[in-house]
Chain A
Amino acid sequence: MTSYFIRRLLAMIPVFFVVSGVVFLIVHMVPGDPVDNMMSVGASANQRAEIIARYGLDRSLIEQYLTWLNNIVHGDLGTAIVMRRPVADLIMSNLGHSLALGGWALMFSAVAGLLAGTIAASFQDRWIDHGLMGVSLLGSTVPTFWLGLLMIMLFAVELGWVPVSGARSWTSLILPVITVGLGGMALVARVTRISMVEIAREDFVMLLHAKGLSRWTIQLRHILRHALIPVVTILSLRIGLIVGGSVTVEYVFARPGLGSLLIRALAQRDYPLIQGCLLFLAIAVMLGTLLGDLLQAAMDPRQREDSAQ
Chain B
Amino acid sequence: MTALAATVRSNIAALMPTFSSAFSGVALLILILIACAAPWLAPYPYDLQNLSIAAQAPSAAHWFGTDEFGRDVLSRVIFGARTSLSVSLVAISLSVTVGILIGAICGYVGGRLDRIVMSIVDLTWSFPEIVLALLIVAIIGPGSSSTVLAISIAYLAQFTRLTRTQIKSLKRQTFVEASLSLGAGPTHIIMRRLLPNVVAPVIVVAMLSTGNAILLEATLGFFGMGVQPPVPSWGAMLSTGSAQLFSAPWVILLPGALIALSVIFINLFGEGVLHALDIKAQARSH
Within 8 A of A (CB), among B251-272: 252, 256, 259-260, 263-264, 267
The answer to whether the Cβ of A184 comes within 8 Å of any Cβ in the partner chain is no
On whether A157 and B246 interact (CB within 8 A), knowing A248-B219, A278-B131, the answer reads: yes
The reply to whether A149 and B138 form a contact with Cβ atoms under 8 Å apart is no
Q: Which stretch in A103-111, A118-126, A202-210, A261-269 binds the other chain?
A: A261-269
> What residues on A are CB-neighbors of B245 within 8 Å?
149, 152-153, 157
The reply to whether A143 and B259 form a contact with Cβ atoms under 8 Å apart is yes
The answer to whether the Cβ of A145 comes within 8 Å of any Cβ in the partner chain is yes
* Identity of the chain A residue whose Cβ is nearest the Cβ of B222 in the assembled complex: A145
The reply to whether A245 and B128 form a contact with Cβ atoms under 8 Å apart is yes
The answer to whether the Cβ of A241 comes within 8 Å of any Cβ in the partner chain is yes
The answer to whether the Cβ of A142 comes within 8 Å of any Cβ in the partner chain is yes
The answer to whether the Cβ of B105 comes within 8 Å of any Cβ in the partner chain is no
* Identity of the chain B residue whose Cβ is nearest the Cβ of A258 in the assembled complex: B131
The answer to whether the Cβ of B173 comes within 8 Å of any Cβ in the partner chain is no
* Identity of the chain B residue whose Cβ is nearest the Cβ of A150 in the assembled complex: B256
Within 8 A of B (CB), among A148-207: 149-150, 152-153, 157
Interface residues as binary, B106-143 with A (CB distance below 8 Å gives 1, 0 otherwise): 00000000000001100100111011001101110100
The reply to whether B259 and A274 form a contact with Cβ atoms under 8 Å apart is no
The reply to whether B127 and A149 form a contact with Cβ atoms under 8 Å apart is no
Q: Which of A138, A143, A157 has most B Cβ within 10 Å?
A: A143
Interface residues as binary, A256-285 with B (CB distance below 8 Å gives 1, 0 otherwise): 000000110011000000100010011001
The answer to whether the Cβ of B223 comes within 8 Å of any Cβ in the partner chain is yes
Within 8 A of A (CB), among B193-251: 211, 215, 218-219, 222-225, 238, 241-242, 245-246, 249
Q: Which stretch in A22-30, A85-93, A219-227 binds the other chain?
A: A22-30
The answer to whether the Cβ of A115 comes within 8 Å of any Cβ in the partner chain is no
> What residues on A are CB-neighbors of B249 within 8 Å?
153
> What residues on B are CB-neighbors of A152 within 8 Å?
245
Contact of B238 among A14, A141, A146 (CB under 8 A): A146
> What residues on A are CB-neighbors of B128 within 8 Å?
241, 244-245, 247, 281, 285
The answer to whether the Cβ of A252 comes within 8 Å of any Cβ in the partner chain is yes
The reply to whether B138 and A141 form a contact with Cβ atoms under 8 Å apart is no
Q: Within the assembled complex, what's the spacing in Å between the Cα atoms of A146 and B260? A: 9
On whether A142 and B260 interact (CB within 8 A), knowing A252-B242, A281-B127, the answer reads: yes
The reply to whether A278 and B211 form a contact with Cβ atoms under 8 Å apart is no
* Identity of the chain B residue whose Cβ is nearest the Cβ of A146 in the assembled complex: B256
Return B239 CB to nearest CB of chain A, in Å: 8
Contact of B134 among A141, A153, A262 (CB under 8 A): A262
* Identity of the chain A residue whose Cβ is nearest the Cβ of B256 in the assembled complex: A146
The answer to whether the Cβ of A15 comes within 8 Å of any Cβ in the partner chain is yes
> What residues on B are CB-neighbors of A137 within 8 Å?
264, 267
Q: Within the assembled complex, what's the spacing in Å between the Cα atoms of A26 and B127? A: 15
The answer to whether the Cβ of A99 comes within 8 Å of any Cβ in the partner chain is no
> What residues on A are CB-neighbors of B218 within 8 Å?
143, 145
* Identity of the chain A residue whose Cβ is nearest the Cβ of B262 in the assembled complex: A141
> What residues on B are CB-neighbors of A278 within 8 Å?
127, 131, 135
The answer to whether the Cβ of A251 comes within 8 Å of any Cβ in the partner chain is yes
* Identity of the chain B residue whose Cβ is nearest the Cβ of A267 in the assembled complex: B224
The answer to whether the Cβ of A100 comes within 8 Å of any Cβ in the partner chain is no
The reply to whether B238 and A251 form a contact with Cβ atoms under 8 Å apart is no
Q: Within the assembled complex, what's the spacing in Å between the Cα atoms of A286 and B224? A: 28
Within 8 A of B (CB), among A40-94: none
The 4 A-B residue pairs whose C-beta atoms are closest, nearest first, are A146-B256, A244-B128, A141-B263, A142-B260
Task: Please give 18 more A-B residue pairs, beta carbons under 8 A apart, in addition to A142-B260, A157-B246, A244-B127.
Answer: A14-B119, A15-B123, A15-B126, A26-B138, A29-B139, A137-B264, A137-B267, A141-B260, A143-B263, A146-B259, A150-B252, A153-B245, A153-B249, A157-B245, A262-B134, A266-B134, A278-B131, A281-B131
A–B Cβ pairs within 8 angstroms, 26 of them: A14-B119, A18-B123, A22-B123, A29-B139, A137-B267, A141-B264, A143-B215, A143-B256, A143-B263, A145-B219, A149-B252, A149-B256, A150-B256, A153-B249, A247-B130, A247-B134, A251-B223, A266-B137, A266-B223, A274-B138, A278-B127, A281-B131, A282-B127, A285-B127, A285-B128, A286-B126
